Each structure stands twice: as C-alpha cells, then as structure tokens.
Amino acid sequence: MEERDAPTEERDAPTEERDAPTDVRGAVSAQSAGGGPADGRGRLILAATPLGEIGDASPRLRAAIAESDVVAAEDTRRTRALAAALGVTIGGRVVSFYDQVESARIPALVEAVAAGESVLLVTDAGMPSVSDPGYSLVDACIAAGHRVTCLPGPSAVTTALALSGLPVDRFCFEGFAPRKPGKRRDFFATLHDEPRASVFFESPHRLAACLADAVEVLGAERRAAVCREMTKTYEEVRRGTLGELAAWAAEGVRGEISVVLAGAVPRRRSVTDLVGEVERRVSGGIRLKDACAQVGDEEGLSKRELYQAVLSARE
C-alpha cells in the first residue's frame, strides 16, 4: 500500500517514467546556479492534493503549481496529470521525490531553497509527511534555517475521522497496519486500552484478515468504521462493531481503505476491586477514613461503601 495520506497498495519498484535518481542536482539547481544570491523568497512549500475529487484542490495549490521554481513530486506522472486536470501549466522544474530516491534528492532541494527558490512538495494524494514522503526534507530545511510553509487541504486521516461517526475529539494515527499476522495482533494489543480513537490504513486484500485479528485481540463488540474510496464516486462508509465489519469484509472489498477504531471504554472498578488500593494507602500512613475518602472521590464511589468493604475484608 502506498505509504501516503490516501492509502493504496504498497509502492512497486520505481519505473523509468518516474525520473531516475541521476542528474538531480543539475535539474534542481540549474536556475539557481545563475541567479546570484538568495533573494529572500526561498522556501519549502508542503501542499495537500485531492484524495480523489479534483474539485477539492485549493486555489493556493493551483497557484503554487504554476509559480513554484521547483515541483518535487511523489509521482511526476500523477502530478502532471493533476496540473492538466486543474488547467494549470507547471511553471518550474519537476523532479521526482518518492521513498526510494528521497535521501538522494534532499541536498539539491535544500540547495535550491538556500538559493532563493520556492520548492513545492506534493504527494499523490493528501498531505506530505503524513504516511508519505516529506519529513526528511522538512527536517533538513529546518536544520538549515530555511522557511517551511504549508498549503492545507485534503487528508485521509481527518476525513475518515469525520466520517466515522465515532467520538474523535482525541485520536492517534497509526499509519499502516502491519502485514504479518503476528505483528498485526501485537499492533492491536497496543490499542487494547487506548482511550483515544485510532485511525490506520489497510490494503483492501488484507482488510478481512486485519479485522479478524482485531476481533481476536480487541473483541467483537469494539466499534469501528471502515471508510472506502473517500471523496470518489463509490465512496462508502461502513460503521458497526468489529465483528460486523469483519463479516462484511470477508466477502471482499476493493478500493482505498482507512479504518477508524473507537477508543477503549475505561472499566469502572468495583468497591471490592478498590479494597487493596485503600489498604495500600493505609499501610503508607493514611487513616482508613481518609484513604476511603480519597479513593472514593477518585473513582466516583461512596466512601461509606468502601469503608464497609475494607472492614468486611479484614474479618
């Protein structure tokens, strides 16, 4: 699955059409080499691109594509197609910036920014750096003291959270679920007691196995949502328990998938469960009545009930 904001299958080996990693410095620096000292406008621009609906492209994205000196693209073919669909002519030089060549590209791109050029970074869909190329270049530009700015826009993470119908005022993003079953079950074990909503990406051909593992580790009643083909013609959101969603996915699913998992519901401990906590505080020098009052306030339980439970346990 493509490691990017809108999930697809993992990227295949780079093809010749996607720009080989040779002659990059010359391609990026050709204009800056003869441009004299930096004019103060040098900056790295991170721009979100549509997940599927071309109308989601912002006016600022259109302008940046047309006006930037350098466009660093996860897939140059898709970026050229995006520009064409927007009716925009790419004004600067285009270089590829995908996982396999990311490290090799960074020095020349930082050099371009240092020379006063604007470098636009775009991925195939969504926001750079969010399960997509970008972080290393951002880090390098910041370390060199260059300006980094962002053109907000579409994101599969926030779109899935909004569509999920789950409480998502607090959430965590987990990237892609592991491929191997053992590691995937370990992954879900780390989310067992996570109180925040969790969002992750999954490949359609692994979704059924992934949700079956989630049921095994988290239980069939944990609520979740599977968001498919967001913003596209066949957008679909399935909401329900993990058990229900696993049964649905077993029939086969296609398209780009984001999964939102409800946060764990904190288990309220009973009076009997808290007797040990009261006794631990008493052994630390706190009076029994005060310990019962402290624990009762923390857990929302009656201190009188706690007091009686401790006395009964001591008999």
Q: What is the pLDDT of residues 140-194, one digit of tens each?
A: 999 999 999 999 999 999 999 999 999 999 999 999 999 999 999 999 999 999 9
- What 8-state DSSP symbol labels residue 283? H
Comparing 100-104, 174-178, 294-298, which segment has the lowest mean pLDDT? 294-298
Number of other CB atoms surrounding residue 245 within 10 Å: 25
Beta-strand relationship, 236-241 and 197-202? unpaired
CA-CA distance, 57 to 26, in Å (whole number)?
A: 30
User: Domain-by-domain residue ranges, the chain?
Assistant: 16-154, 157-261, 272-314
- What 8-state DSSP symbol labels residue 14? P
CA-CA distance, 138 to 147, in Å (whole number)?
A: 9
What are 201-260's pLDDT values in tens digits? 999 999 999 999 999 999 999 999 999 999 999 999 999 999 999 999 999 999 999 999
Class of domain 157-261 as given by CATH: alpha beta
Instruction: Calculate the average pLDDT of the chain.
Output: 88
Q: Which two tokens stand for residue 187?
A: 């992954």
Q: Which two tokens stand for residue 238?
A: 């399935």
pTM: 0.73
Q: Tell me which residue has tokens 């892609």.
A: 176
Amino acid 40: pLDDT: 55
CA-CA distance, 62 to 88, in Å (whole number)?
A: 7
Average pLDDT over residues 94-101: 93
What is the share, in percent, of the chain residues with pLDDT greater than 90?
Answer: 77
**pLDDT at residue 5 is higher than 90:** no
Match domain 16-154 to its CATH number in 3.30.930.10, 3.40.1010.10, 3.40.718.10, 3.50.50.60.
3.40.1010.10
Confirm if 282 and 312 have CB atoms less than 8 A apart: no
16-154 and 157-261 share one CATH topology?
Answer: no
